Amino acid sequence: MRHSNKSKKILALFLVLLLGFVIFLAVMLYTALHERDIPSIFSEETAKAQRGSIISADGFHIATTQKLYKAVVNTRNIDPDKEDLFVQLFSIYSGSDPQDVRQRLHTRKGSVTLSYNISPKEAMYLKTLAFELRRLGVFVEYETPGGQRILQGLNIIESGEARRYPYGKLLTPLLGYPRKIEEEGYTRVYGIKGLEKFFDEELNPQQNKARKALRDVNGYLILNKQSDVKHQINGLTVKLNIPIALQARVEAVTDRIKEQLKADEIIATVMEAKTGKIIALASSNRFDPSHIRHEDYSSLNTNAIEYSFEPGSVVKPIIFALLLDRGLINPYDMVDGHGGKWKMGRKMIVDEHKFDMISAEDVIVHSSNIGIAQLAQKLNGAEYTEGLKRFGFTHFSGIDLPYEKRGSIPSSAQLNNYLYKAITSYGYGMRSNAMQMIKAYNVFNNGGRLVNPMVVEALYDDNGRTIPMQIQPPTQVISAATAARMKQILIKTVNEGTGIGAKTPGLEVGGKTGTAHIAKGGKYVNSYHTSFIGFANDAKHKYTIGVTVIEPRTVYFASITAVPVFKAIVDVMLEEKYLTADPAAVAAAAAAKASSAQTPAHD
């Protein structure tokens, strides 16, 4: 009986074990054959790509992007007895005003943003501070109405990006400025004016960094074939043709002479004649792109292209070149100066300097309105219009900047009229911007070829790959022989005529002055634009340089407003080694000056 009970117990135990094994197998089979919701073993890392930089020709970063962080704290987690300690430490680490921090803490209970503009360096310090504050017991848990205990403390969160301009006003308004836009809680910047606008698409980030992969027990990503990886592709870097040292010195020239002349603005441009590379584009009216004020609004436009005006006498060499290229005049033809006053129909044309008979080339050298008005009659309307357009007028200059104003010229029908021919020949009845004039004059310094001005040298990606700018091939506007003859006439204008103040021993310098009345309210007033456009060359380098002075008030003749700016820029270029004067010519000029000083004066 006792043996029978023992056998039953063993059998029962065996059946229990067998049943447990069967259940285990059934569970395993079920698990294997059915979908399961299991915790993810994948982790994901992301990082925002950044807007590209703008750098100078000599490698200085003029515009850069900096990531911004915000500091968020839950006020319920701050121990009231240690609030002063929190305020003092946070203020020290973030550079914030303690009173402002305290005020923000008491705006409401719960999550409060203490600062939106924390730099990456400050963010690193504040993350360390957050850990220390926990250790010091500054943060304490609080209990929600549902009984949940929460400890959040101080959180430093990436919130966006900001554009930084380390050199302040340098290169504005050419550089332009951006504006901020919120995208899903992240602040991005987009270009509004200048280079920031023109190259906005290239500067903008292309792809954010994202990595999704298996993680190990420590939470680190295991990158393998199963991983999903997107590399960070930042915006392209824009490299200029403009070096900082030259730009800064040219800007200083425009600032100084603007003050002397009490002018509204002075615009100056230096361009390599053969390539069209702009190596300086300066305005006396600049602003800090990081801190634009209301009084800066009038300075936000790049007036070298965004401001069109009647150019005045600087147009005369263009008209003369059209006549010369067509064989309609000879430089030694004689023209009647009419003693400085000549009535053409109902229009009285006046010269500043009185002439009776004058050679055709001296019409340019001494800037005779009467002379060029007569010579221009040899062109018919179609030739006149087509010729001005060939020189680039009414067309965009091709410069890599936005919002250019193209200007205007009279129609062919109008230019068949003798009066339109006359007034257009000395720069009235048409409009152009300063860059169009420099591009046109460069034809004389470049063998008759027209090239587009270019501010940017190339684009670069993070791997150093170069993306060159698309360059339009030169256009032959006039023959090389005509260009050479015009060049000699413009050199004579500097040596003997209205541009004599630009003369620089040891360099080949030529150019032409222009002084034009400004029309306001439909009539000409006693205000002027003055210009001097020309070139300065040595044995190896050729540069076309243009200066426009907008409304000078102390004096208004171009020879004593625009010419001194040109001369000062040439002197800077000599000092900065962009030009090298011929030593023999410099010595000869010095000897001639000394000899002249020793010669007795005669009554």
For residue 47, pLDDT over 80 is answered with: no
Residue scoring higher pLDDT (127 or 314): 314
Min mean pLDDT across 217-221, 330-334, 385-389 is at 217-221
Give the right CATH number for 66-164 from 2.40.50.140, 3.30.1390.10, 3.30.1600.10, 1.10.1040.10.
Answer: 3.30.1390.10
Distance CA 233, CA 216 (A): 27
Tell me the C-alpha distance between 128 and 113, whole Å. Answer: 18
Instruction: Tell me the CA distances in angstroms from 36 to 31, 40, 41, 431, one per residue in order.
Output: 7, 11, 14, 77
- Is the predicted pLDDT of residue 501 greater than 50, yes or no? yes
Predicted confidence band of residue 226 (pLDDT cuts 50, 70, 90): low
- The percent of residues in the chain predicted with pLDDT above 70, rounded, is 91
Same fold, 66-164 and 244-289+303-456+478-596: no
For position 215, what pLDDT does the model report? Answer: 60
Mean pLDDT throughout 31-39?
A: 52
d(C-alpha 154, C-alpha 131), whole Å? 9
pLDDT > 90? residue 208? no
Which candidate, 190, 184, 149, 152, places its Cα nearest to that of 71? 152
Kindly indicate the confidence band of residue 214, based on its pLDDT and cuts at 50, 70 and 90.
low
Q: Determine contact, residues 12/4, Cβ cutoff 8 Å.
A: no
Length of the chain: 603
Of 29-43, 416-430, 475-489, 504-518, the least confident: 29-43
Half-sphere exposure of 265 (CA within 13 A, CB side): 17
Measured CA to CA in angstroms, residue 9 lies from 429, 474, 577 at distances of: 121, 108, 110
CB atoms within 10 A of CB 202: 16
From first CA to last CA, the distance across the chain in angstroms is 163
Q: Which fold has domain 41-60+167-240?
A: Penicillin-binding protein 2a (Domain 2) (3.90.1310)
Instruction: Give the whole-angstrom CA distance, residue 399 versus residue 55.
Output: 18
Tokens of 145: 């109405």
Judged by average pLDDT, the poorest of 42-46, 155-159, 424-428 is 42-46
Euclidean distance between CA atoms 214 and 195, whole angstroms = 43
CA proximity to 530, closest of 434, 399, 407: 434
pLDDT of residue 602: 34
Residue 43 has pLDDT above 70, yes or no: no
At residue 213 the predicted structure's pLDDT band, cuts being 50, 70 and 90, is low
pLDDT above 80: residue 26: no
Pick from 69, 68, 66: nearest CA to 50: 66
Cβ 65 vs Cβ 164: under 8 Å: yes
Q: How confident is the model at residue 281 (pLDDT cuts 50, 70, 90)?
A: very high
The Cα–Cα gap between 569 and 572 comes to 5
Question: Can you tell me the mean pLDDT for 342-349?
Answer: 91
Q: What is the average pLDDT value for the chain, to the nearest integer?
A: 89
Average pLDDT of the residues in 328-354: 93
Residue 134: both structure tokens together: 């926990």
Calpha distance 23→168 (Å, rounded): 77
pLDDT at 40 over 70: no
Three-state SS for 241?
A: coil
Average pLDDT estimate for 242-254:
98
For the segment 466-494, the average pLDDT, to the nearest whole number, is 96
Residues 6+ apart with CB under 8 A from 591: none
Per domain, the residue ranges of the chain are: 41-60+167-240, 66-164, 244-289+303-456+478-596
Q: What is the mean pLDDT of residues 203-210?
A: 80
Cβ-contact 460, 239 below 8 angstroms = yes
| pLDDT confidence band for 7 (50 / 70 / 90) | confident
- CATH class name, domain 244-289+303-456+478-596: alpha beta
- State which H helix or E strand residue 157 sits in: strand 154-164
Q: How are beta strands 237-240 and 54-55 bridged, if at all?
A: parallel
- Distance between CA 430 and CA 21 in Å, rounded? 101
**Cα atoms in the 13 Å half-sphere on the side-chain side of 178:** 26
pLDDT at residue 210 greater than cutoff 70: no
Tens digit of each residue's pLDDT (9 = 90 or more) over 113-156: 888 888 888 889 988 888 888 888 888 888 777 777 778 789 88
pLDDT for 21 equals 75
Task: State residue 56's pLDDT score.
Answer: 98
Tokens found for residue 579: 């030009």
pLDDT band for position 572 (50/70/90)? very high
